[in-house]
Amino acid sequence: MIIQGLENVPDSLRRCVLAVGNFDGVHLGHQRILTVAGGLAASEDAKFCVLTFDPPPAVVLAPDKAPDYILPADVKYRLLAEGGAEVIVVVKTTRRFLAGTAEQFVRDVLVGRFEPKHLVEGPNFFFGHDRIGNVEMLREMAGRFGFDVSVVEPLETDTPEGPMRISSSLVRSLIRSGDVESASLCLGRHFTLFGTVVAGCGHGRLLEFPTANVDPNGLICPGDGVYAAWTQIEGERYPSAVSVGTKPTFETPCPKIIEVHLLDAAGDFYGRDIAVTFLARLRDQQAFADTEALKAQIAKDVQHVRKMCK
């Protein structure tokens, strides 16, 4: 069940187990919170609810600096449900809402709308105006307002810079750098880009490797390079060679574009929804001496993809 707006939260959700956050990516750290919260809800015979925000607060407060989304909202909600959430309540985020104090958030939102039995969060949970509220303040308020707090310790992963805490920010950084394999380890599943097929420059057909050009619709996309992937479109799945970049071989390079060559697919898919699941980065983007050299390299990339997707 997805409930849009705090004003629509029914009284039947009072005394639930509640987890609050953006949950962008629904990575392994988020999944750990969901597991703990779901276990508590089962043991206490309570509903397990997730409270999340649309848009995330950063988009409202600093739109020019807000990070790209990892997931579209509908996919995020599906993954939260798969993680055990029975009810997802979506707050329509406004400046007025974000101007409330930390105590107002706990008193009016958490207690006023949910009166939770238990709140489950990570150690970096902040709330209230200027994010002044933290888990220590939350524990103090929990005693006054009559609910328990569980803080779930974060997970770490190995990165080229050493061990780092798994977070949405880390996942974004890995994706932007092209390290889709490490990003997938943080997510607990392969990173998937959801977008729409749009018209491109037409170079793919000239090279005899026609491609579906993807508009990521504001979602984060990997750094420049060539990747092996699986692509889902119109209910079918295809092994794919994916190029992200500006086509440096051509005299007039395109703006940065995501091109997906779907192996063994026929026809065009303009306007269709597409989901590109990245398996590995094969190589850097590079400028070739001519189109024949580029075609020869693409043929090698395709063979590499076929081996990976067997």
Determine the 3-state secondary structure of 196 from DSSP.
Answer: strand
Question: Domains in the chain, ordered, with CATH?
Answer: 2-154 (3.40.50.620), 190-308 (2.40.30.30)
pLDDT in the model for residue 170: 96
User: What 8-state DSSP symbol labels residue 201?
Assistant: -
Tell me the pLDDT of the chain (310 aa) as tens digits: 999 999 999 999 999 999 999 999 999 999 999 999 999 999 999 999 999 999 999 999 988 888 999 999 999 999 999 999 999 999 999 999 999 999 999 999 999 999 999 999 999 999 999 899 999 999 999 999 999 999 999 999 887 778 899 999 999 999 999 999 999 999 999 999 999 999 866 554 544 567 899 999 989 999 999 999 999 998 899 999 999 987 655 555 566 889 999 998 877 889 999 999 999 999 988 776 677 888 888 888 899 999 988 7
Measure the CA–CA gap between 19 and 127, rounded to whole angstroms: 13
Q: What is the pLDDT of residue 248?
A: 57
Return d(Cα 170, Cα 162) in angstroms, integer. Answer: 12
Residue 276: CB atoms within 10 Å? 26
**Whole-number Å distance between alpha carbons of 70 and 172:** 7
* Confidence at residue 309, expressed as pLDDT on a 0 to 100 scale: 86
Q: What angle in degrees, to the nearest 10, is found between the helix axes of 180-187 and 168-176? A: 160
Q: Where are the beta strands (DSSP E) in 176-309?
A: 192-198, 212-215, 225-233, 236-245, 257-262, 273-283
